[in-house]
Chain A
């Protein structure tokens, strides 16, 4: 199983699409690792600099409809190549979310209210998130605050995370 804890990158915008996560001009790469330098290169967020802001981050917390647009699995691969295995958002586009779990990664939904509170308390600060999958909860903390937040995964999503992905699961069952 992949690690799901670490430093948090906050992306305070809805509808971040897969062209922003990994532009199509890099889809000619034939390995996942080659995508590493290009993650979020075209993201439309004022002041965001992928060169410095991605450093040492392992978790993304963002808003609604993350991963909309193209079906490219290069989006989760580019995240994984940068050590990011967990994205937390209000909602996800269908294909992106399935791609994440198919790769044994996690795309977890939290309510808009919970995310508002997280953003207002933690965004802009040095924030760490711990995933306790067996307890279905996150612990999020910075120098001044700590929150414990419950989440739920569907049985299928959890099975994919545990199996290591959809290929492994399907090969056993079909």
Chain B
């Protein structure tokens, strides 16, 4: 019987099968941020087990609320910072070097095909874009990961979603994943791994693949996975060039993580995007998805461009293309948060930040802040935000506020119009 990507990775990392379909796997990396890690650290201290399994396999960042907004978030940062220093964790990213975890860690080369990664953050599934198994976990799983370097998972049943057709103009990775979630529902992939494949994924950049895999959890998936190929190797080359004679050799090596032809899937779906229009959500669930034009005229108070879903260079370039030489509506507050310092610097050097500033946007430092209503753009009750983030849950960006999820292009066009509208080039 052939094996899926996740089955191959599990076979490579299995430590134990203590019960039925429970597989305890060895971890190649444990990612940590300041919201879910401090309680794990405090718990380890109180148990007299303030240890880490391997400092070089821990990657640590302060990203959710940075700079700290108050005494409590300052304390969360301090607990994480002190711990990282105490254990001599080499890869710790504090203010000035920090960015949104799921944009920063791939950029640093911490994700490789075939890796196993956990983090106390549901959007850890983003890293599956590299052909890795990466899953969000709670603080207790994180705590055991930090201490022992292992995590338990149910058997990784997979579904395969083949994205076919040609992406129309002004339709992007975000529209693709919103349409998939709209189709299969918020419970459509619970406890499963989604392999995203097909010509549309093959042609997509790593940024686009990360956008796709980032939202796999909004359909309940444990991880979204794209197959490692020359695009993956191209992104990683600066980090792996000493391990391989040529990029082709690396592609060939990573092909050991491709699924077998006779691999067993619970479901195989074809998803044609040739007629797809720019998408947007309505309501409080990420599967409440419609064409953005159906929401035409819905006034918005704020437009937010950023996050682990759509705060990367490609996203900022697309939004800037829409905004260039134009001003956003004066009833709209525009906020853009480049996801990492590297992206911030590139956007600065390319003149993209100037386009945002000229259009009337506020440019913030890299942080998760507004996406989950913690800082840097929290909404008031009754307000509406057009957002490139990943969750439109009730209260997500502010108690009593409404969030409409969409692509950076649609968000930028919405900022210009003052109401939801797709971008018509």
Contact = CB atoms under 8 A, between A and B. Distances in A.
Interface of A: 14-15, 17, 19-20, 23-25, 27-30, 32, 41-44, 64-65, 68-73, 76, 91, 93-96, 98-99, 102-103, 154-156, 159, 165-167, 170-171, 173-174
Given A15-B187, A15-B285, A42-B395, A24 B47 contact: no
B343 to A, nearest CB: 23
A60 to B, nearest CB: 18
B120 A71 contact: yes
Contacts of B140: 73, 99, 102-103, 165-167
A15 B186 contact: yes
B148 interface: yes
Nearest to B219: A68
24 contacts: A17-B393, A19-B396, A23-B395, A23-B399, A28-B72, A30-B38, A65-B187, A68-B190, A71-B138, A73-B120, A91-B190, A94-B220, A95-B122, A103-B140, A155-B19, A156-B19, A156-B22, A156-B152, A159-B18, A159-B19, A166-B140, A170-B148, A170-B150, A174-B148
A142 to B, nearest CB: 30
B42 interface: yes
Given A71-B137, A154-B20, A166-B141, 14 more contacts: A19-B394, A19-B396, A20-B395, A25-B373, A25-B399, A28-B72, A32-B39, A41-B395, A65-B220, A94-B220, A98-B137, A99-B138, A99-B141, A166-B140
Interface residues of B, number: 60
Contacts of A19: 372, 391, 393-396
A19 B371 CA distance: 12
Contacts, number: 154
B76 A28 contact: yes
B15 interface: yes
Contacts of A155: 18-20, 22
- Among A15, A65, A94, A156, residue most surrounded by chain B Cβ atoms (within 10 Å): A94
B73 interface: yes
B65 A170 contact: no
